[in-house]
A and B are shown apart, each in its own frame.
Chain A
Amino acid sequence: MSELQGSEGTTQRLPVIEKAEYEPPPAPEFEPGREAGREGRFWSARRVPAAVVAVLLLAVTALFLYDIAAVRAHRPAMAWRRDLAHQLATRPLDDTWVLVGAGVTAVLGLWLLLLAATPGLRAVLPMRRPHADVRAGLHREAAALILRDRAMEVAGVQSAHVRVRRAHADVRAVCHFRELGDVRADLNTTLDEAIRGLGLSHPPALSVHVRRPGRKG
């Protein structure tokens, strides 16, 4: 434990994990080269759409319930219900507003179906499991930040822009000294290792572009 504490502010790389004295678990240790099963995506709980749909449904149902109960209790129906019944009974199907309304309803329904059937959480990349019980996801933004920092460590790189997508990592580096080919080769090795260090279940394919600064001084 002691080597883990009091290390704030240092920038040294962590050593390979060692067995400590506390009797380690039967957990398989992380090995960068090990081929593990491919992890599935993270599935969003869809809380926000669920809350919105539930609130809207609740409002509509409660309104109808209230008004129908009020009418049963011999009170006059609200004006909107009479108006709605009148509109429903007079507007033909090829009325423009009916068609527009139907189109919007169908699109909304399709969108809800898509929300229900797709995993969402596109920004979270699944990581390899270090242990059967542990499921981890790395945010794409974090992956891009880490790759950018590793790219900046290569001699000659002045600035780097990294874009990580689900299957690709695009690195654009500006190089202000050394041969472009050398820098590109160095970047490839460094970033290949960095991508392995991300511990992703589906490591993104790397593409590196190196160029000189556009204008001098």
Chain B
Amino acid sequence: MLRIVNRVLIGLVGLVLLALGGSVLAVGLGAPAPSWWIHQGRHDVLLTDAERTKWQDHAWWWPTVIAALAVLVLLILWWLTNVLRRRRLTEVLVDTGDGEGALLRGRALESVLANEANELNGVAQAHARLTGTRTAPETKVQLLLEPHVDPAIALSYLTAHALTHARNSAGLEKLPTEVRVKAVRHRQERVS
């Protein structure tokens, strides 16, 4: 979700910058401009006083400008807080099967998952983070592997043990997971 918002907004800003810069560059270098465009030729200025003050005498102009800027500031603030805040799930809703629900602390599930992943053969370090929503949690797991283990095998172990346990113990139907695998850096030496 945030990924899409980020990409759309970045793309929008990029498009505006490209259009402004490109058009000024094109007209400034002598390309013909359409008649409705703000710049008519290479000796035109960027923004004349007349153009700038065109609407100033209307009563609605300044309130509109201020309102638009205020809305823009609020939107950017919302965007910025969402970008800077690391969304982390604090609790997971567990369906106990009797019509009621129980709350599982997100940190508990994270640490169980990470601990279990850590115990797998060949995993030097594991880190887990819960995202998503209370009813549909997702996890992000980072694995640091030791040199002797094959990533494919480590991943299938992780899936069959740590992830399956976490999913079953929280009573979840599915637990979408994103795993990033890295390896412990070490010097060149014979492993076996």
Contact = CB atoms under 8 A, between A and B. Distances in A.
Interface of A: 1, 4-5, 7, 10-14, 17, 20, 22, 24-25, 27, 29-30, 32, 43-47, 49-51, 53-55, 57-58, 61-62, 64-65, 68-69, 72, 85, 87-95, 98-99, 101-117, 124, 127-128, 130-131, 133-139, 141-143, 145-146, 148-149, 152-153, 159-160, 194, 196-199
Contacts of A43: 3
B164 interface: yes
A105 B20 contact: yes
B76 A4 contact: no
Contacts of A1: 161
Contact of A93 (B28, B122, B180): B28
Contacts of A13: 148-150
For the complex of A and B, 10 pairs with smallest distance between CB atoms: A199-B152, A112-B14, A105-B21, A109-B18, A109-B17, A106-B21, A116-B11, A197-B150, A142-B183, A30-B156
A146 B46 CA distance: 58
B160 A45 contact: no
Interface residues of B, number: 90
B21 A85 contact: no
B29 interface: yes
A65 B69 contact: yes
Interface of B: 2-3, 6-11, 13-22, 24-25, 27-30, 39, 41-49, 52, 62, 65-66, 69-70, 72-73, 76-77, 79-80, 83-84, 119-122, 145, 147-161, 163-165, 167-168, 174-183, 185-186, 188-192
A176 to B, nearest CB: 13
A51 B10 CA distance: 10
Given A30-B152, A92-B43, A197-B151, A98 B28 contact: yes
Contact of B17 (A91, A108, A137, A141): A108
A135 B151 contact: no
Contact of B160 (A25, A139, A153): A25
B182 A110 contact: no
B21 to A, nearest CB: 3
B44 A92 contact: yes
A28 to B, nearest CB: 10
